[in-house]
Amino acid sequence: MADKQTLYKKQAGEYAASLIEDNMVVGLGTGSTVRFFIEALAQRINIEGLDIIGVTTSSKTSSLAKALGIKLSSVDEVPYIDLTIDGADEVDSAFNGIKGGGAALLFEKIVALNAHKNVWIIDESKYHDVIGQFPLPVEVVPYGSHQLFKRFDEADLQPLFRRTETGERLTTDAGNYIIDLTLERINHPKSLAYFLEQTVGVVEHGLFLNIVDEVIIGGEQLKIITKHPDKLFDN
């Protein structure tokens, strides 16, 4: 299954690279599926001579894009972002998504909200009827984070500080911590998002609602789903 999953990720990433046009400003997401997209995009730039500017969502993506020769700029230095290609940890049929498994949710959401169009690339294992199987990341400031953890615990949100391989609390590119909430099923994502946004100490959450325009799903047969039901087609 793991080999198939990698193949499906590569399939989705390479298809996404075919969507990029000359002179575009492109938001570059974070994650294993996005890596395939960035590698395929770099190949197109080298072969076709495309003039592309990338806006990255994490230090990992910046390092990869630079190593592959992709020109980069900051989200604050470009007038607009034509298209952002990013991954997702989970997506449902209502286009709600959970992101942040790569600890880049804050920068990913900033770039997404400044893009004219957002496309997510996933493998078929991440597409569900209802989101919640993947833990929901919540980025929090370090100060008072233990008190915030207790509040989440009292609300029965099953919180867990994300940690590094050495057991320390993981720190994001913005210097914050991540508390993952194990919910299994999120029936009311808007209500949960509102609760988190009103909670002091929360910087951002991994619920991406009403953001994505199109989802590319790698599988035995590539699927592209847009927000318009009549535009569901296989490729």
H or E stretch covering 172? none
Q: Where are the beta strands (DSSP E) in 15-89?
A: 25-28, 53-56, 71-72, 83-86
Q: Which of 90, 108, 204, 214 is catalytic?
A: 108
Query: Does 201 appear as a known binding residue?
Result: no
Distance CA 234, CA 29 (A): 24
Query: Does 54 appear as a known binding residue?
Result: no
Q: Among residues 136, 190, 181, 135, which one has the least CA distance to residue 156?
A: 181
Query: Does 32 appear as a known binding residue?
Result: yes
Asked if 108 is an active-site residue, the reply is: yes
Query: Does 88 appear as a known binding residue?
Result: yes
Query: Does 29 appear as a known binding residue?
Result: no
Query: Does 126 appear as a known binding residue?
Result: yes
Contact 68, 17 (CB under 8 A): no
Query: Does 101 appear as a known binding residue?
Result: yes
Distance CA 25, CA 17 (A): 13
43: phi then psi, degrees, rounded to nearest 5: -65, -40
Query: Does 13 appear as a known binding residue?
Result: no
Residue ranges of the annotated binding site for substrate are 30-33, 86-89, 99-102, 126
Q: List the catalytic residues.
A: 108
The annotated binding site is made up of 30-33, 86-89, 99-102, 126
